[in-house]
Structure 1
Amino acid sequence: MSETLEFQAETRQLLQLMVHSIYSNKDIFLRELISNASDALDKLRLESLVNKELDVDTSDLHIQLEIDKDQRTLTVRDNGVGMSHDDVVSLIGTIAKSGTAELLKQLRESAEQTQRAELIGQFGVGFYSTFMVADRVTLVTRRAGESQGTRWESAGEGTYEIETLDEAPQGTAVTLHLKPEDSEDQLFDYTAEWKVREIVKKYSDFIAWPIRLVSGETKDEGDQKEGEQAAPAPLNSMKALWARPRSEVAQEEYNEFYKHVSHDWTDPLETIHMKGEGTFEYEALLFIPARAPFDLFMRDGHRGVQLYVKRVFIMDDCEALTPRYLRFVKGVVDAHDLSLNISREILQQDRQIQVVQRRLVKKVLSTLKDLPAERYATFWNEFGRALKEGLLDDADNRETLLDLLRLPSTHSPDEPTSLRDYVERMKEGQTDIYFMTGESRATVEHSPHLEAFLAKGYEVLILTDPVDEVWVEQVSQYDGKNLQSVAKGQVDLGAEDVPEERTEEFAPLLSWLTTALEADVKEVRLSTRLTTSAACIVGDAHDITPTLEKMYRAMGQEMPHTKRILELNPGHPLVTGLRDAFTADSTAPALTETAELLYGMALLAEGGELADPSRFTRLLADRLARSL
């Protein structure tokens, strides 16, 4: 007996939205149907174990795809648990209980098509995506253990027909009567075997049950000796490496899988196979590459690992699972308790996903920490710059990240050092870890700021990556030792301060220079950090560095000019000569030019940029000409 029923008003509205391409990628309809079939097979296997009286055949549980080009139909069939008449009415006939009103509201407010697509799965209505590609959908099902079946059919236009069948195969068969091939909104022919194979390979390759294809091209292939038709080979590999114990997987299999997910032709540097249990179960198979991709530092570069739910592919670059500084990590996370189409926005806010991310991060960092020195050196050369970004974004793991740093220093021109090794080499009485930032190693090594440190045998870290300028501003200590810039503040190298009488001797000159150079400096003072150079420019302890100031301006941020401090070497002939000239005639015009030249030389010595290069070169040329 057949009866025609109406969808609820909200359900009709949703169907109309589905028909008009809410999904940006229509291929997803097949993923949804295969996932439903896989769930039905899982439920039957469980039910047969729990209920020993259930009379079902579980010897060949599978999913079958049937293509009929002449009739333009595609059927997804399973021999799983099936549905009763009441199940069909409650699960297929109405979706109001899923929160349809809220879904419709969000769909209307979503400006972008991709945002709409991501909302669908939150409400468990993926079945209705079939109406994007089909004019009519027929469902035939029989629940395991029952004698009668149910047939459901709808064109997605407000009503559906449902009838009871005396006979039906166990399980569920969903037949899509596909739209005409020349339909305006049909990009692909879903009766094409190559297209079906492509979709299964992309979205459902790791489903645990075999997915078989039967079409005019395959159904007549080879018979068994008894004359019975052989079962077609599965379209899916069913080889979810992450679901197998690590002891059962060869490294060659890991390597091949890495190349598949990363599109890299080299083997990974390290493989991480882990499983999370408890309130939220998941498996993860992660890889640390051996070389950096070309887009590692591009703003729109790919990042994030693949997300699966119960072996069903959900998204390629799930940014919510790994922080940006670990964007080089590739692999798969298979969660057990997420909806298939959960949106990216919800992923970012989901507490369970946040817990998974924290666990993945700790596992990746601990793996890096345990790498042999030679392999870690390879990693650092490729990804060290990216890892440093974590010092800004990941306060919880900052100590671990500091241990992972490998930084150039004056100790060795070829090998970078860890902070741990630096601390172990610190001189007796040294309380700070010294560093200097700059555009290149050569610029830093020739900076006058290093003179006294090198003369006394103190090691200085040489930081030349742009991110170094930022993280040293936020990280103040390591292992109880302060990180101290050699180009900022006062330095205490155990040397005696400038004698008081010498300070008094230079006081008039210093006061005059502070006034003469007030556009550029806020103070002129005598230095204890210089041994051979005449002057250098330093910042106060909490001043922003010139390089960082320039970086902010390059990003479009307005930054006030930070005046710095000019330090003079009281033992340098140029400085003592300037003092004597000032004492003899404090109004001599040449004094102002000499002050400008002194400041300009100090600025150039640290790799800075002159505000007026042409004036500086003219003054220098005139002064040189007078000396000949």
Structure 2
Amino acid sequence: MTSTIPPTGAADTPSEAAANSFQVDLRGLVDLLSHHLYSSPRVYVRELLQNAVDAVTARRAHDPDAVVRIRLSAGAGRVTIEDTGIGLTAAEAHSLLATIGRSSKRGGEHGLETTRQEFLGQFGIGLLACFVVARQIRVVTRSARDPQAAPVEWLATDDGSYTVRELPHEALPEPGTTVHLEARPGAEEWTVPAKVEQLARDYGSLLPYDITFEEEEAARATAPGSVGAARPITDRPAVWDRPYATPDARRVALAGHCTALFGFSPLDSIDLDLPVAGVRGVAYVLPESTSPAHRAGHRVHLKGMLLTDRADNLLPDWAFFVRAVLDTDTLRPTASRENLYDDETLAAVREALGARIRTWLAELAASEPDRLAAFLRVHHLGVKSLARHDAELLGLMLPWLPFETSDGSMSLEEFAAAHREIHFTRTVEEFRQIAPIAAAHGLGVINAGYTYDADLLALLPTVRPGIKVTELDAGAVTDRLDPVAAEAELALTAFLSTARIRLEAQSCDVVLRAFQPVSVPALFLDDRRTRQERDRASAQESADSLWSGILGSLRGAAPRARLVLNHNNPLVRRIASIPDPALAGTAVESLYGQALLMAQRPLRPADSSLLNRAFLGLLEWATHSTGTEGTQK
């Protein structure tokens, strides 16, 4: 008999309306699967393995004493898979193999409902997905539920037609199913034995039944019933579930597994054991630091079958320093069966896996500080990312997390012991300018310009009550610097007035202090509000008339930046003694430009113009002075 895929019945309808059946173009469906649902034709091997596993699982449920096996072979543009599973009758072949959307896992009629709950076969695509590589599919099957039923051959081609015929009993003496695929032109590469074997290992290494592979030539040369040429595909139990003589032996085995699977030797490994959620696996710690924006692809098996090796929603975002591999029976696949469906169950599992990684960190802090220190040297960013939302963990990690401070690189615990009042800068550049001066004057400053550090410092007072944390501003630094003697500052009143006038256009005040190190002639100080106002003014200078008016209306009353002149510096004292106000003003502009460059502040057009003017002014003064001296000689 010949049919078109799928043969669907019409429901009864009122007499005035005739019912029609949907028709499915199989070639169009295969194109849809190949180009829009599946990422690669490689999934056909998964479909073959999944159908075989379902069949032998159902056979075990029907007959617990049955001997079940699955054998896969390939060669010369052909792929064959044999199982001793539940098998099908002719009616079931019609109903199940050729009907889009009908799954044998959805009810008790065909006895396969015990194989899986809400798992891969749920979408009813099944064997037809193999047409992504096959020109023809031939299924020979015999039912274990009906011993009197004859074996059945179901033969389908990619034009959407199939035939079903009964075979003599001797054609298949025992229950089970054999599926033969014949490659379509252009898809032969997917049936090369080495590729089929590798795909089978990739997808099926953790499946619950023994699966073997052999090349078809070797199979023909082997005596009937012999498996001498067969190679095992499954490798159970999973490496994380095997017994080991010592913890070190287990650690070595896991490291080897990570190298084979992911291509790197892990810094450490973390067990991911959630019995309530039906999850078992391991997370491997990357040996090198990585960006917080990096989303590692994790490897997820669903009841032993590989679902995806690119799951990026399995772990919390802060756990970017690990690659995980696990097996689960609770999570749902997407329609393509190539990723996890992001639902409430996955959210709960993700939170629980994150808690397991957090517990691992706490255990290291309590009992294995050397391993924790080695981990934090590489991955402190990941821990900081987690700790900014977890005050308890921050408290545990305080002795270990490194920060850049005015006293050198050290932990927050050490720094807080020396400074009850902690200041911080929001940019790396600001810190590097301030740090030497702050250290010389006993001011405790932390560089919070790195990722997460400002968040952790904001949380610090809740973990260590009594510690005050404030953002560093120009006033705080200036107040810590030594004032100049009143009579000395009075003598420089005219110079300071000239300096303030020359920098008025830059919205910068000028103050005189004495500070260390002596080698620093001037210090440029501002705060966040001042920087915002500078950015607004810079944007206004280069904007068109419309935007210039808008930006002008946003002008705020931000505190002015400060140029702090170091009275201890010999150059500053010489400039302050210059009798020519114009030359002294040019020298002050040069000090302002040098301080901006030292602070690595972005230069506004007005700043660039000032630097050019000061440079040319000093050149003119130097050349004029040299020329005068030559004339006098």
Q: Decide whether aligned partners of structure 1 residues 343 and 138 sit closer, same or farther in structure 2, where only a CA change above 3 A counts.
A: closer
Shift of 1:18: 0.8
Which of 337, 340, 352 lines up with 2:345 in the alignment?
352
Deviations, residues 176-234 of structure 1 (Å, cap 9, x unaligned): 2333xxx2x325161x42232222122222223222234443236677xxx96345444
User: 1:448 touches 1:605 (CA, 8 Å); kept in 2?
Assistant: no
Superposed counterparts of 1:453-602, under 5 Å: 453-456=439-442, 458-462=443-447, 468=450, 472=454, 476-480=458-462, 481=467, 483-486=469-472, 490-491=476-477, 513=499, 516-524=502-510, 532=518, 533-542=520-529, 565-568=561-564, 572=568, 588-602=581-595
Cα distance in 2 for partners of 1:548, 1:483 equals 26
Superposed counterparts of 1:142-161, under 5 Å: 142-147=142-147, 148=149, 149-161=151-163
The residue that corresponds to 1:364 in the other structure is 357
The residue that corresponds to 1:44 in the other structure is 59
Deviations, residues 108-157 of structure 1 (Å, cap 9, x unaligned): xxxxxxxxxxxx98834242221122222222334433222554332243
User: 1:527 touches 1:567 (CA, 8 Å); kept in 2?
Assistant: no
Superposed counterparts of 1:49-88, under 5 Å: 54=63, 57-59=65-67, 61-67=68-74, 69=76, 73-83=78-88, 87-88=92-93
User: 2:213 touches 2:233 (CA, 8 Å); kept in 1?
Assistant: no
Cα distance in 2 for partners of 1:600, 1:308 equals 61
Instruction: Give the 3-state SS of the residue equivalent to 2:476 in structure 1.
Output: coil
Q: Decide whether aligned partners of structure 1 residues 594 and 334 sit closer, same or farther in structure 2, where only a CA change above 3 A counts.
A: same
User: 1:537 touches 1:564 (CA, 8 Å); kept in 2?
Assistant: no
Is structure 2 residue 403 aligned with structure 1 residue 407?
yes
Is structure 2 residue 40 aligned with structure 1 residue 29?
no
Is structure 2 residue 194 aligned with structure 1 residue 205?
no
The residue that corresponds to 1:431 in the other structure is 421
Cα distance in 1 for partners of 2:392, 2:25 equals 54
Larger Rg: 2
- Paired amino acid for 1:426: A
Cα distance in 2 for partners of 1:579, 1:121 equals 85
Cα distance in 2 for partners of 1:164, 1:271 equals 55
Cα distance in 2 for partners of 1:84, 1:306 equals 37
Cα distance in 1 for partners of 2:457, 2:333 equals 41
Shift of 1:26: 1.6
Superposed counterparts of 1:86-105, under 5 Å: 87-96=92-101
Cα distance in 1 for partners of 2:561, 2:300 equals 53
Which of 365, 370, 382 lines up with 2:378 in the alignment?
382
Shift of 1:322: 3.6
- Paired amino acid for 1:538: L
Gapped runs of 5+ residues in structure 1? 49-53, 99-119, 553-557
User: 2:2 touches 2:161 (CA, 8 Å); kept in 1?
Assistant: no
Instruction: Give the 3-state SS of the residue equivalent to 1:479 in structure 2.
Output: helix
Cα distance in 2 for partners of 1:592, 1:362 equals 62
The residue that corresponds to 1:275 in the other structure is 273
Superposed counterparts of 1:145-294, under 5 Å: 145-147=145-147, 148=149, 149-163=151-165, 167=169, 168=172, 169-179=174-184, 183=185, 185-186=186-187, 188=189, 190=191, 192-219=192-219, 229-230=226-227, 232-241=229-238, 244=241, 250-264=250-264, 267-278=265-276, 280-292=277-289
User: 1:77 touches 1:173 (CA, 8 Å); kept in 2?
Assistant: yes
Cα distance in 2 for partners of 1:14, 1:197 equals 28
User: 1:29 touches 1:126 (CA, 8 Å); kept in 2?
Assistant: no
The residue that corresponds to 2:3 in the other structure is 4
Shift of 1:381: 3.6
Cα distance in 1 for partners of 2:286, 2:166 equals 57
Cα distance in 2 for partners of 1:345, 1:4 equals 31
- Paired amino acid for 1:540: D
Deviations, residues 583-606 of structure 1 (Å, cap 9, x unaligned): x99xx3234313312312322333
Deviations, residues 54-98 of structure 1 (Å, cap 9, x unaligned): 4x6433x221124464xx542222112334556544433322468
- Paired amino acid for 2:154: W
Cα distance in 1 for partners of 2:143, 2:254 equals 40
User: 1:320 touches 1:344 (CA, 8 Å); kept in 2?
Assistant: no
Instruction: Give the 3-state SS of the residue equivalent to 1:219 in structure 2.
Output: helix
Which of 313, 322, 332 lines up with 1:320 in the alignment?
313
Cα distance in 2 for partners of 1:298, 1:409 equals 22
Gapped runs of 5+ residues in structure 2? 9-20, 104-119, 540-546
Shift of 1:317: 2.7
User: 1:433 touches 1:483 (CA, 8 Å); kept in 2?
Assistant: yes
Q: Decide whether aligned partners of structure 1 residues 242 and 199 sit closer, same or farther in structure 2, where only a CA change above 3 A counts.
A: same
Q: Aligned Cα RMSD in Å?
A: 4.8
* TM-score normalised by the chain length of structure 1: 0.72
Cα distance in 1 for partners of 2:510, 2:377 equals 41
- Paired amino acid for 2:267: L
The percent of aligned pairs where both chains have the same amino acid is 21
Q: Decide whether aligned partners of structure 1 residues 216 and 319 sit closer, same or farther in structure 2, where only a CA change above 3 A counts.
A: closer
Shift of 1:536: 1.8
- Paired amino acid for 2:327: D
Shift of 1:462: 4.6
Q: Decide whether aligned partners of structure 1 residues 491 and 365 sit closer, same or farther in structure 2, where only a CA change above 3 A counts.
A: farther
Deviations, residues 14-67 of structure 1 (Å, cap 9, x unaligned): 55231573344222201211022123333433x25xxxxx4x6433x2211244
User: 2:102 touches 2:124 (CA, 8 Å); kept in 1?
Assistant: no
The residue that corresponds to 1:109 in the other structure is none
Question: What is the aligned residue count?
Answer: 553
User: 2:270 touches 2:284 (CA, 8 Å); kept in 1?
Assistant: yes
The residue that corresponds to 1:304 in the other structure is 297
- Paired amino acid for 2:306: F
Which of 25, 28, 40 lines up with 1:13 in the alignment?
25
The residue that corresponds to 1:111 in the other structure is none
Cα distance in 1 for partners of 2:349, 2:534 equals 37
Shift of 1:320: 1.6
- Paired amino acid for 1:30: V
Instruction: Give the 3-state SS of the residue equivalent to 1:217 in structure 2.
Output: helix
Structure with the bigger RCO (C-alpha within 8 Å, sep 6+) is: 1
Cα distance in 1 for partners of 2:460, 2:157 equals 67
Q: Decide whether aligned partners of structure 1 residues 444 and 496 sit closer, same or farther in structure 2, where only a CA change above 3 A counts.
A: closer
Shift of 1:316: 2.5
Cα distance in 2 for partners of 1:77, 1:365 equals 46
User: 1:134 touches 1:177 (CA, 8 Å); kept in 2?
Assistant: yes
Cα distance in 2 for partners of 1:276, 1:608 equals 51
Cα distance in 2 for partners of 1:193, 1:476 equals 60
Instruction: Give the 3-state SS of the residue equivalent to 1:29 in structure 2.
Output: helix
Cα distance in 1 for partners of 2:390, 2:335 equals 28
User: 2:78 touches 2:180 (CA, 8 Å); kept in 1?
Assistant: yes
